[in-house]
Amino acid sequence: MADRSETDTVTTLSTDPEHPAQGSTTPVVTGTGTRPAIIADATASHGAGSPVPVQTRNERFASTDVSAFPPVTGREAGWKLTPVDALQGLIAGELDGGRYELGIETTEGAEVTWVGRDDARIGTAGIPEDRAAANAWSSFQEALLVRLTGEEPSSTTLIRSAFGPTARGAHTIVDAKAFSRGVVVLDNRGSAQLAENVEILVGDGADVTVVTVQDWADEAKHVANHFAQVGRDAHLKHVVVSFGGGVVRVNPSVTLAGSGADGDLLGVYFADAAQHLESQVFLFHEADHTKGRVEYRGALQGEGAHTVWIGDVLIGPDATGTDSYEQNRNLVLTDGTRADSVPNLEIETGDIAGAGHASATGRFDDEQLFYLQARGIPEEVARRLVVRGFLSSIVQKIGVPALEVRLQDAIEAELAGEAR
Amino acid sequence: MSTLAIRDLHVSIETDQGTKPILRGVDLTINEGETHAVMGPNGSGKSTLAYTIAGHPRYNVDSGSITLDGEDVLAMSVDERARAGLFLAMQYPVEIPGVTVSNFLRTAKTAIDGKSPAIRGWVKDVRQSMDNLRMDSAFAERNVNEGFSGGEKKRHEILQLELLKPRFAVLDETDSGLDVDALKIVSEGVNRAKDATGLGVLLITHYTRILRYIKPDFVHVFVAGRVAEEGGPELADRLEDEGYDRYVSAAAAAS
Ligand SMILES: Nc1ncnc2c1ncn2[C@@H]1O[C@H](COP(=O)(O)OP(=O)(O)OP(=O)(O)O)[C@@H](O)[C@H]1O
Ligand SMILES: [Mg+2]
């Protein structure tokens, strides 16, 4: 498995003349096999000369109480790439934590109910590490519970299109019983001012896919934290799809808690002019023989399109035999965009099967364009063909055919520059 | 009768060291149905000629002309040239992740013809051409050139040649990296296209080997950015025996 490990570069590519300093490239070394652990914190080289103390990723302050967090200024490590002014209503404002209207489509083997704050599952997958998540947690009155019990694959779609202009705090739990199988889709559309937490409990041997689709209206603001615990020999596929919305930040934290647990963390995003789409991904290999794959891809087009991807992978001291790989690729289609891409890998055991990461932000490749044009394909058509191909490789991995079709259509609409 | 005419073509590229002239007055006329072999040593400018005909933006035409039946090719965009009937089989075909061969071929055919091909006939044509080139049908669902071996990439270029039916094809070292079986298969493909459509061919090669299978009507020796000598097929035999040394030293002495 030596080929899983590589030396790569962290690149923050900006085509925004206002941020000329963002062109830097930082080499990062990743560790493997029996070599000593290497801690590579790419963010350390981004500050202007001030070394960032190396803090293990799972030692961050966490609380469910919003008042335990100081006000957010935008200088904090977790917020410095986010337009916090636009989100202060969700970070510090009052949130309506009551039930909201939603459409539920579900098949046998899954059930959806509301449960009270005293439900024993609440807080077992993880607790907030930032103020917006804590604000949502402090506000919600009831949690929406999706319970997966069937060993035959079930399918649940939560159509959330009626949030409206009210600032809201929400809580969702996906509780997958041992050996259950199912797909849960959070299908987000329309207007929203939403801060939420989603807890995902994947029981031993279960096989679960959770997809959150952000297909919001233009002005929507959405801050979500997903926390997942994946049990012994269980598999979680977690997918973040962000196309629509003004400021969207969906941060998944997945803990591979049981031996042999397997996590696929996928993301696909397409940022248009003035859109901010962000995902801070944390994958924690806690148990031995866990396997993790993180792959996020995004395209950017239009003035002020901004994407942020931070991928933290932590291989804990007990996680022997771990196999981990994370990557982020961005395709820049026009001037005036900015893609931040920061992979971090911490390895606390010397005995792993492999670990590596890659990050690349590139312009649409002129040689690809030439090849296609040389076959008679006009530039615009060629461009769409390539972007579609670039993003499809993630979409194809989702494994939910109806959703794949819908997302391919959404990509087409983005490419056609339609207002969403 | 269709004619591709290149007149006194001067081409340069921008490098870190400044402007570098590469083609220094190329004249070539290719009529429909003719096969012209362009042979020359590494770095003599063969690919530059090929890319310039296709319209790659890296190459600047400083003077001279390229016309197709009198139409100014240099005024056309890359895709317009292809739609006008020019085809370049590349020396190093580009990988296009996420775009399947079948999708790519259909998109190209639609662009070239100005309408989508009738589905049943098209699927049959693709299958037939792939069979002819001994390409497994699984290639249709793979991404364009991704993970293809050198020989597979070349077959894929000739597959496009057969399906897109251009009037003139520039084949840039289509023979390089092919074993003798693959060379025969690829040559048969080119010959089929010639028979079917009266294709004019500009066959760029370093070696005479491919000329055993694709018979040239004319041979041009290309050295230091211009045609140093031209003749019939017999010139290729002489190059086979003598190599390029004579021309290269003459060019060096002249500059
Ligand atoms: N992008 C480039 N940057 C710098 N030099 C270049 C570039 N492209 C071509 N050249 C130079 O132009 C000259 C001609 O190159 P060209 O590729 O046309 O040669 P060729 O005859 O096709 O060679 P080969 O037989 O190796 O394929 C060479 O000296 C080459 O180094
Ligand atoms: Mg060449």
Q: What ipTM was reported for this prediction? A: 0.96
Atom 29 (ligand 1): residue with closest C-alpha? Answer: B43
Distance set, CA B168 to CA A108, A382, B30, B109, B218 (Å): 61, 22, 9, 16, 15
The residues facing A254 across adjacent strands are A228, A283
In the predicted structure, residue A291 carries a pLDDT above the cut 70: yes
Which residue's alpha carbon is at the smallest distance from atom 18 of ligand 1? B45
CB atoms within 10 A of CB A116: 9
Domains of chain B: 3-93+166-254 (3.40.50.300)
Inter-chain Cβ pairs, chain A and chain B, closer than 8 A: 78
In a 10 Å sphere around its CB, with 0-12 CB exposed, 13-18 middle and 19+ buried, how is residue A350 labelled? middle
User: Is A381 in Cβ contact with B98 (below 8 Å)?
Assistant: no
- Which ligand has the nearest atom to the CA of B42? 1
CA of B51 to the centre of ligand 2 (A): 10
Mean pLDDT of A3-11: 36
Closest by CA to B204, choosing from B245, B165, B154, B136, is: B154
Atom of ligand 1 nearest to the CA of B45: 18
Instruction: List, for residues A374-399, the tens digit of each pLDDT value.
Output: 999 999 899 888 888 889 889 989 98
What integer best gives the mean pLDDT of chain A?
A: 87
Mutation pick from B88, B94, B110, B153 vs chain A, by most beta carbons of A within 10 Å, is B94
Residues of chain A positioned with their CB less than 8 A from the CB of B79:
373-374, 376-379, 382
Q: What are the distances in angstroms from CA A41 to CA A269, A300, A311, A312?
A: 25, 26, 11, 9
Q: Write the CA distances from A299 to A391, B3, B136, integer angstroms.
A: 8, 43, 33
Across B67-82, average pLDDT: 98
Q: Structure pTM? A: 0.74
Strands (DSSP E) found in B32-167 = 35-39, 59-68, 71-72, 86-89, 96-100, 143-144
**Min Cα separation B16/chain A (Å):** 19
A211-233 pLDDT, tens digit per residue, is 999 999 999 999 999 999 999 99
Chain A contacts in chain B segment 169-228 (CB below 8 A): none
Given a cut of 50, whether residue B195 has pLDDT beyond it is yes
Residue-wise pLDDT for A164-206, tens only, equals: 999 999 999 999 999 999 999 999 999 999 999 999 999 999 9
pLDDT band (50, 70, 90) for residue A350: confident
**Interchain pair B77, A373: CB under 8 A:** yes
CB within 6 Å of ligand 1 — which residues?
B 13, 15, 22, 40, 42-48, 58, 91, 173, 206
Of A73-82, A177-186, A397-406, give the lowest mean pLDDT range.
A397-406
Contacts of B52 in chain A (CB under 8 A): none
Average pLDDT, chain B: 94
- Is the Cβ of A395 closer than 8 Å to some Cβ of chain B? no
Look at B77 and A366 and tell me if their CB atoms are within 8 Å: no
Nearest Cα neighbor of A169 from A186, A192, A190 is A192
pLDDT tens profile B89-139: 999 999 987 789 999 999 999 999 999 999 999 999 999 999 999 999 999
Which helix H or strand E contains B151, and what residues bound it?
helix B150-164
Three-state secondary-structure class, residue A188: strand
Chain A contact set for B93 (CB, 8 A):
371
A360 touches chain B (CB under 8 A): no
Strands B96-100 and B143-144, by their bridges, are antiparallel
Cα atoms in the 13 Å half-sphere on the side-chain side of B13: 16
Counts of helices then strands in chain A (DSSP H, E): 5, 22
Q: Is residue A35 predicted with pLDDT exceeding 60?
A: no
Torsion sign (Cα): B88, B90, B94, B100: positive
CA angle B124, B129, B133 (to 5 degrees): 150
**If you measure CA to CA, which chain A residue comes closest to B83?**
A376
Q: What percent of chain B has pLDDT over 70?
A: 100
- Which bound ligand lies closest to the C-alpha atom of B17? 1
Distance of residue A292 Cα from the nearest chain B Cα, in angstroms: 23
Whether residue A378 and residue B79 make contact (CB cut-off 8 A), yes or no, is yes
**Nearest CA residue ID for atom 4, ligand 1:** B15
Q: Torsion angle, CA of A127/A128/A129/A130, rounded to 10 degrees? A: 180
